[in-house]
Amino acid sequence: MKIKDRVALITGSGQGIGKAIALTFAREGAKIAVNDISCNEAKAMETVEELRKLGVEAELFLADVSKEDEVNSMVANVLERFKKVDILVNNAGINRDGLVHKGNLANWEAVMAVNLTGPFICTKAVLPAMREQRYGRIVNLSSLTARKGIFGTGYYATSKSGLIGLTKVTAVENATKGITCNALAPGYINTDMMNKYPEEQLKALIATIPAGRFAEPEEVADAALFLVADSSSYITGAVLDINGGSFI
């Protein structure tokens, strides 16, 4: 097992990509701290039960990653329950589309709060424990939109571009402490979010992808596992693209 007995805190892991990462890590022996917001508590508890059926320790920690007091309390509770935090995956995120010249400041601020401020707060909260134990793996979920200009993604793309900057600085500042920090930049993923688009629009989108399909959440999870494994200890500050050739 690649990460046996490691403790992984995964934000937004009640469903979607976060859940896939949690299940993949659990199959490799990790103990999982599932995080989500209170309105997703039911789905998050279902994820916890799935993880426990795999024979690993798993607990739910409710917190809004954009609120520092909630994050600090969450990390303190994770440390009390598991005694350490080895892995942080900053996965929680929201998306609100909008054209820049018609931009809505409230939407901009909401996206930044969760997608960029949230990872900063969570990273800041876990780093003291990681630095003390001289071990840590941080993975930030960026996006294809941070790698190429995509029409109508101004809020989201900017937040995910900023997250790459945070990734690189965190990597540099903690490299001597046994801590790595890397980012994943997924393209289009086959999640429930895709159900809101008409079939013809989905077909047109797939036609732009050289691989001819969307990625599965498990493929993103496998990439995250690669980055947190001990065998990747010399990889830090990197951005791993997972987009089927959409950005080369």
Residue 65 and residue 14 in contact, taking contact as beta carbons nearer than 8 Å:
no
Task: Show which residues are catalytic.
Answer: 156
d(CA 63, CA 61): 6
Q: For every residue of 103-137, which 3-state class applies, written as one string?
A: CCHHHHHHHHHHHHHHHHHHHHHHHHHHHHHCCEE
Structure token digits, residue 197:
């688009």
Report the alpha-carbon distance of residue 235 to residue 21 in Å, rounded.
19
CB 95 within 8 A of CB 111: yes
Closest to 60 measured CA to CA, from 41, 83, 88: 41
The 3-state DSSP class for residue 76 equals helix
CA distance linking residue 156 with residue 144, whole number of Å:
10
Q: Which of 57, 56, 38, 34 is nearest to 47 (CA)?
A: 34
Give the single-character DSSP code of 216.
P
Residue with tokens 């895709």: 194
Both structure tokens of 39: 């309105």
